[in-house]
Structure 1
């Protein structure tokens, strides 16, 4: 932003200078040319009077001295003719007398008692001012005089003024640049500190609040308001995290005690009430899992981190090795298929939790003797396909809603597993969708971004999930 402000200030200054100096230089050049034209016309008229007097009185031998002296002083070229246009005197060293110029337009006009002032080009290609005057008394023309004045000196003066204007403009632009840099830095300093503070806040911390002591009043108020908001937000997040941490310990004890008390009732109840007691104990266990899921989901939503490269094949092999004993107890086989996927972007610990939750859901609905296939597709996708009852299209659309459970569900899930999966996948910059599997099964497709050469991780900000245990919650 500092660069853009500097460019805008310099562009405005350049526009103002151009609007002032270009007309000034143009007017000066026209003034110099007009002044030179007037001087040439005046001198030509005076010389023509002197030449006319000398011609009238017969002093023709004085004409070369008169025109030569003037030409030497001014650097001009003077030619005098008689009434027939024959050259009487020429100030040029190579000039010749007794040459007729009557055929030339300006001389012909002068012989008709008309003067001519024009700008033309001489034999050397130089711009010159030419004034041709009749040497006359009343209507009687006794001769003509042509005065040719080179514009070299006029051009030199015009070039000097243009150079002076350019130098002045450059000095003004340099001064404007110095002032503009200081002003732009003063204006953007709160914005730079605000940007740094915003980046820190996105990463879950705010160690350097934005500077609210310098800059325009509006930006100082904005920085102060941001600091107040960020401080309040951090306080609320810390309070919520503290609540989640404390509640996870405080709720475990009463739920465990309630379950033990219910189990202690079993010897004293009628056999017909045992079914209800088992249902009550199951609901207490489900309530415990739900509380753990809610607390885990709250921790996930209140924190985030920057995705890092994770080897999908290694994580997949490790998680399958851990889940295989439980799957064997249910007579379910876990198969890894497809080509190696390589590294993907994921927040630390997220990939393990994603696989754990999806495998837990798949095992919960898989009949004995079936397979759960974990198919890798370079690109990078992971498909977890079971051979359970599957879901309808309507159920698949709602499966990621919190606490949602299928109306025909026969398991004790909490409705938090898939929301946790979606949150972890989204935070890692990927997508997760549900599709019909082969037969009546369900296929969960997770697409994560592959780690390409020189690629950069997306910014997410926050806390490291790597130290947490995997969370497995049912649908």
Structure 2
């Protein structure tokens, strides 16, 4: 990947430099040529002006000779022709003696200055173009022009090479900056795929997008690790929890096979109790798995209506056990919960409370509005739980002294937290256990 990035950036740089440097060099070269010709033409006009006084006005040739001497001193060659094309005067060098160019100028045309033997020839009529009295031809060496053009192209090429070299350096550093964290991320993903669940990617180098990708990978890896460890813990817990009722069931069946006929009904009843216990345990595990795999889609739920409905459903069970089941709901606004989640939560809490409270006890459900939430409390005056038991009550099989499967509070905790709420266990004043649920308001979920 580093090589591809470097080559791509270098190719782009070469194209951009060529697109900028070549037109610039050509433009400077053209401008130098024009400036050189304009200066040669200006020098020719100076000599033509003094020659006009000599040829047209019959003035002395001193000024014309002086201009020719100045041209020779500057390195130019010049020659003056009369209207018949005869050579009148010239510099010591003979490079400017071009009768053909002078004859063309005498016809009234302005010829394009040619370049011969490394010299640029410029021609200018003496007097007017239509009726010239003579012609001046000047030859100027193009060596200085060629030297300046060569220097211009050399600097242009040097700047282009420097730009390409700088681009190569920046491209290498950029490619490494991008590629190094991606390489470490690829290595981490490979190790994670091999089973090294603790492997994580580096998130403190590279572009922000790569850092976010590495952070997302680390989050995924952490969740994968927790999920696998959680499944391993579930398997261990299930194996441990199933071992006891299975052993008891096997013992009772063995006794039933060898027992006397009169004790067979009692042993059969005990075996049926163990089967029922196993059934409850399996149902609880299925409920936990279902709750952990569910992603709730919040809907508006009326707490007072659900509480009243569950009180009606559990009232016969409470009356059968001699327990007073009451409610006091003062929160009418809807909360945001998955469909049926609050019913399942209250069913689990009421089942636990009715199992824990002795005959004549009381179970109360109340709800009040608090800041941004509706607080629902399920209170009983049973034996309660120790602080140590409350600390692990939401874990699977967290309470070894539970009469049921020990999974009810784990299901409740999962359902509440998955919906964005909170759950806590407190001691009821006077004794007992209070389960406190804070459920988010529905309008809070809908606010952008």
TM-score by length of 2: 0.47
The structure whose Rg is larger is 2
RCO (CA 8 Å, sep 6+): is it higher in 1 or 2? 1
